[in-house]
Structure 1
Amino acid sequence: MTGAEYGLRHGEYTAVIAARGAAVRELRHRGRDLVVPFPAGGPNPDHRGVVVAPWPNRIPDGKYTFGGVDYQVPVNEPGRQCALHGFTPELDWRLESRTESAVALSCAIEPTPGYPFALSITACYRLDGDGLHTTVTAANVGERTAPYGVCPHPYLLAGPAPLDEWSLEIPADSFLEVTPDRLLPVAVRPVEGHEYDFRAARVIGSTEIDHAFTDIVFDDDDDGDGDGDGDGQARVVVRDPGGTGVGMAWDRSCAWLQLYTGDTEPPLPTRPGLAVEPMSCPPDAFNTGTDLVRLEPGASHGASWCIFAA
Structure 2
Amino acid sequence: MSAEFTLSAGGYTAVVTARAAALRVLQFEGRDLVVPSPEGGPIPDYRGIIAAPWPNRIADGRYTFDGVTHQLPLTEPERGTALHGLAYPLDWTVKEHDAGSVTLTCTVGPTTGYPFVVELSTRYALDDAGLHTSVTAHNAADVAAPYGVCPHPYLVAGSSPLDEWILEAPVATFLEVTPDRLLPVRLAPVQGHEFDFRSARPIGTTEIDHAFTDITFDGGLARLSLRDPAGTGVGMSWDESCPWLQIHTADKPAPIPSRIGLAVEPMTCPPDAFNSGTDLIRLEPGEAHTASWSVYAL
TM range (shorter): over 0.9
Corresponding position of 2:244? 256
TM-score by length of 2: 0.99
CA distance in structure 1 between the aligned counterparts of 2:17 and 2:165, rounded to whole angstroms? 28
Q: Is the 8 A contact 2:61 2:81 kept in 1?
A: yes
- Asked whether 1:301 is paired with 2:289, we answer yes
Corresponding position of 1:171? 170
CA distance in structure 2 between the aligned counterparts of 1:241 and 1:78, rounded to whole angstroms? 39
| Ranges in structure 2 where 5+ consecutive residues have no aligned partner | none
Corresponding position of 1:227? none
Corresponding position of 2:268? 280
- 1:118-169 superposed Cα distances (whole Å, 9 cap, x missing partner): 0110000000000000000000001110000000000000000010010001
Query: Deviation of residue 266 (structure 1)?
Result: 4.2
* Residue identity opposite 1:290 in structure 2: T
TM-score by length of 1: 0.95
* Residue identity opposite 1:138 in structure 2: A
- 1:215-245 superposed Cα distances (whole Å, 9 cap, x missing partner): 000003xxxxxxxxxxx00011100010000
* Closer, same or farther: CA 88–267 of 1 in aligned 2, 3 Å: farther
Query: Deviation of residue 112 (structure 1)?
Result: 1.8
Q: Is the 8 A contact 2:10 2:129 kept in 1?
A: no
Query: Deviation of residue 78 (structure 1)?
Result: 1.2
* Residue identity opposite 1:197 in structure 2: D
Q: Which runs of 4+ in 1 moved over 6 A?
A: none
- Asked whether 1:245 is paired with 2:233, we answer yes
CA distance in structure 1 between the aligned counterparts of 2:258 and 2:43, rounded to whole angstroms? 15
* Residue identity opposite 2:110 in structure 1: P
Query: Deviation of residue 267 (structure 1)?
Result: 5.2
CA-based RMSD: 0.8
Identity %: 62
Query: Deviation of residue 79 (structure 1)?
Result: 1.1
Q: Is the 8 A contact 2:73 2:112 kept in 1?
A: no
- Asked whether 1:189 is paired with 2:188, we answer yes
Secondary structure of 2:206 counterpart: coil
* Residue identity opposite 1:154 in structure 2: P
| Ranges in structure 1 where 5+ consecutive residues have no aligned partner | 221-231
CA distance in structure 1 between the aligned counterparts of 2:207 and 2:95, rounded to whole angstroms? 39
Secondary structure of 1:40 counterpart: coil
- 1:259-283 superposed Cα distances (whole Å, 9 cap, x missing partner): 0000012453211100000000000
Corresponding position of 2:197? 198
Corresponding position of 2:253? 265
* Residue identity opposite 1:275 in structure 2: A
CA distance in structure 2 between the aligned counterparts of 1:161 and 1:75, rounded to whole angstroms? 37
Map 1:1-310; keep pairs closer than 5 Å.
3-220=2-219, 232-266=220-254, 268-310=256-298
* Closer, same or farther: CA 278–182 of 1 in aligned 2, 3 Å: same
* Residue identity opposite 2:161 in structure 1: P
CA distance in structure 2 between the aligned counterparts of 1:292 and 1:25, rounded to whole angstroms? 28
The count of residues paired between Structure 1 and Structure 2 equals 298
CA distance in structure 2 between the aligned counterparts of 1:264 and 1:106, rounded to whole angstroms? 33
CA distance in structure 1 between the aligned counterparts of 2:107 and 2:23, rounded to whole angstroms? 19
